[in-house]
Chain A
């Protein structure tokens, strides 16, 4: 007999049925409703307030449909699909980063090796090798990539390039990998909405924080918070986003992730800060390079890096708070 909190979804074409937490399906339905509301707003706004250019808003909403659809399918399909999706996300983010950051022509094959390292990082997630995943990029890629560069023999600009490659691997591959590794949590851990529920909450809280900061800043923003790095960010947006996201995690969080006791407070307090930090850090890098967006891959949003910048910071924090307070596996 199936647990009443679970539901079995039968699939066509002889595929094995999916067993999902009911609350996760409600959560996904909630996201789809919000998105529909956004799409309606994007259709109605030009009629209510004509004269302004709403192309960007429309593109943004359309891109959200694609992103939400991909994530829904991946989360419902399980750890393998989610891991593969994050591998693709990491590859595109790393490619954007290494293409814009100052690299030397001698390092072409080191860049190729960095993609290989990204694949291996997700391979270790795939074979559930947590211990190796933890040290592979932070320790061994950190040591091997500079050695390869030394073998190539170009010492001009060596230190800066070695540091750039390591930064790219840590931010685009290792950090994002934590989101995929959450899917390997055993179901025996009494999770309220399964492993997928935890990843769902991470994604929703991170993106809600981005959107809430933007909306609060748009309506109330007066005082710049990082004028030299990201002049559009304001204290009002930052604090409004913080409170909104903290409330979301506090009230909706326990439905999707094991947030009992102190971890609920810590998560609500710290996750919005991490999202803001990721956003500002990536802005500083883009300002240094001299670009506004890292590519035009996602219409209305910019590149992959522009979309996942806050998640580079929220994914490890989210994972480690849960690992420290709630999860036995990690």
Chain B
């Protein structure tokens, strides 16, 4: 199944991403080649996941695990199979957050296996207005639980125009991926979240104006 996943990512997802999003990457040399590592990006579209899955070399691709909402991506057997085996998600039961259940356990296990977790700390897709929603602290708790894993802030510009939330027909538009310097867990949750937020906003400043007027 892992071979099928790599095949589909290389021969379907990569060409799709190049046609529909062009995809310029700034700071490509910073991208981690091996896990455990955490990628924290802003979120406006399903295209965000497509972009993040297709900018890595094939060797690293097998290690990428998008953290995804279980209530959305595990609906029905077909989507569930696709999410687990092709997207390679680690499910997050966001409806159970705060209930005492350990919703981050699957993500931590993946890090233990040496995987790279892709996480969208905004929690859900935004409206492609280039504003960033309040960041949820799950990423900080993950970094705390796994302090050896560096956290890479990534700003994704333009993906919300290719396929905004609620739309069904994608429109080709150029997108840009900006990779920031890795952050390390230093013992304080709020300070970590502030640093992550600042890094993402600083990356946004460097993005080309691939946004609606």
Contacts and interface: CB of A to CB of B under 8 A. Distances in A.
Interface of A: 91-92, 95-96, 98-100, 102-105, 108-109, 111-112, 115, 157, 161, 289-291, 295-297
A103 B212 contact: yes
Contacts of B213: 102-104, 157, 161
A295 B169 contact: no
A109 B167 CA distance: 11
A31 B155 CA distance: 41
A115 B170 CA distance: 12
Interface stretch (B47-55, B82-90, B102-110, B171-179): B171-179
A111 B174 CA distance: 12
B194 to A, nearest CB: 29
A101 to B, nearest CB: 9
Interface of B: 22, 24-26, 128, 158, 161, 164, 167, 169, 171-175, 208-210, 212-213
A96 B174 contact: yes
Given A99-B174, A112-B171, A290-B209, 19 more contacts: A92-B22, A96-B22, A96-B174, A99-B158, A99-B173, A100-B208, A102-B209, A104-B213, A105-B164, A108-B161, A108-B171, A109-B169, A111-B171, A112-B169, A295-B22, A295-B24, A295-B174, A296-B24, A296-B26
A303 to B, nearest CB: 8
A112 B161 CA distance: 12
A273 B158 CA distance: 36
B171 A99 contact: no
Contacts of A102: 209, 213
Given A99-B22, A296-B24, A104 B212 contact: yes
Given A95-B22, A99-B22, A105 B173 contact: no
A104 B213 CA distance: 5
Contacts of A109: 169, 171
Give chain A's interface secondary structure class: helix
19 contacts: A91-B172, A95-B22, A95-B173, A95-B174, A96-B174, A99-B22, A99-B173, A99-B175, A100-B174, A104-B213, A105-B164, A105-B212, A108-B161, A108-B171, A111-B171, A157-B213, A291-B208, A295-B24, A295-B174
A289 B171 contact: no
Contacts of A99: 22, 158, 161, 173-175, 210
B207 to A, nearest CB: 10
Contact of A105 (B161, B174, B210): B161
Nearest to A304: B22
Contacts of B158: 99
B209 A289 contact: yes
Contacts of B175: 99
B128 A105 contact: yes
A105 B26 CA distance: 25
A92 B161 CA distance: 16
Which A-B residue pairs are the 6 nearest by beta carbons? A102-B213, A99-B174, A105-B212, A296-B24, A99-B173, A112-B171
A115 B172 contact: yes
Nearest to A94: B172
A185 B172 CA distance: 33
Contacts of A100: 174, 208-210
B15 to A, nearest CB: 13
Contacts of B212: 103-105
Contacts of B171: 108-109, 111-112, 115
A103 B174 CA distance: 13
Contacts of B209: 100, 102, 289-291
B100 to A, nearest CB: 41
B22 A111 contact: no
Nearest to B212: A105
A100 B171 CA distance: 14
B22 A98 contact: no
A84 to B, nearest CB: 15
A291 B208 CA distance: 7
